[in-house]
Amino acid sequence: MLIHSDWHIHSEASYDASLSLKEIADNARAYGFRQFGITDHLNFNDEKFLGDLKRSTELVREFQKTCPQMVQGVELTPIEKPEFDHIAATGTREGYVPPFSSQPYAIELGQTKAELMAQGVRYAIGAAHWRVDCPDAKNLEPDLNACIREWHRQQMYLACDERVTILGHPWWSSKALWYEDFSVIPRSMNAELAAALKENGKYVECNVHFFRPTKKTEKFRCQYADFLRELHETGVPVTYGSDAHKTYADDYLLAEQYLLAAGFKDGDVVEIKEEHLW
């Protein structure tokens, strides 16, 4: 067995998930996991997402009384700084108009580390989900090179930000732009990312979604496992994340198949060290 813990799970407190903490805990124990983290979404700094996080921390705090293996985390998504500022001033995303800029927008995350810690959060996954470099980026036609540059920009930001413990699902793309052949991602970018992760003491996530055949070729899945192995060999510790939302199944067994083929051994997929928890 390679995987002994799961650090990326969404509960019913996330807007897009429905798992109860009991279902998560029962299954995690059945799989023999030593620890498992609840990382509900904090996509924006508005009342909706701050309320979701408050509910998550309240549910976990109560459940931890009988389940000390459960750890409170959060998943942070990079957003454009002008939108963050608008929400901070108004409390809502409504009425936001992206300003013109000749340069990519600066990046921000939903709360400060101090604010997160005050609520009982002990670690954060930081993960890119969409472009935040230009106005109305979500509705633009997919542009492979532009998206690669933007994902790299966001991932480098996350690798250097004090709030991020784990870089979540690096190179995940809802548009599946590079899911046929991972080699379209420049090796120089991955080398730069590895150096930043190592220098800043970050973990990187092995997310099981990369090993499901939907949208991904077998070639890609093997390449991605090799990418994780290269990160491990440069000294970046690798954690596992199921990224579960609706069901909590034994998907880790699928990830293990590809990790084993890439040369991972027991002990190579790690838990977050206690000194790295907040």
Which stretches does DSSP call E strand in the chain?
A: 5-9, 35-38, 41-42, 70-76, 79-80, 107-108, 123-126, 166-167, 203-207, 238-241
Residue 139 has pLDDT above 90, yes or no: no
Domain housing 57? 5-276
What mean pLDDT is predicted for residues 128-155? 93
pLDDT tens readout for residues 215-229: 999 999 999 999 999
pLDDT at 1: 92
Average per-residue pLDDT in the chain? 97
CATH of the domain at 242: 3.20.20.140
What mean pLDDT is predicted for residues 106-134? 98
What mean pLDDT is predicted for residues 143-166? 98
CA 105 to chain centre: 21
Number of domains within the chain? 1
pLDDT tens readout for residues 226-248: 999 999 999 999 999 999 999 99
Please provide the distance, in angstroms rounded to a whole number, between the alpha carbons at the two ends of the chain. Answer: 28
What mean pLDDT is predicted for residues 136-148? 89
Cα separation, 163 vs 114, whole angstroms: 9
pLDDT grade for 136, boundaries at 50, 70 and 90: confident
Determine the angle formed by the axes of helices 187-199 and 218-233, rounding to 10 degrees: 40
Q: Counting beta carbons within 10 angstroms of the beta carbon of residue 218, is it exposed (0 to 12), middle (13 to 18) or buried (19 or more)?
A: exposed
pLDDT at 140: 84
pLDDT grade for 68, boundaries at 50, 70 and 90: very high
pLDDT tens readout for residues 71-103: 999 999 999 999 999 999 999 999 999 999 999
What mean pLDDT is predicted for residues 107-135? 97
Cα separation, 190 vs 224, whole angstroms: 12
Cα separation, 123 vs 116, whole angstroms: 9
What mean pLDDT is predicted for residues 174-202? 97
79-80 vs 107-108, strand pairing mode: antiparallel
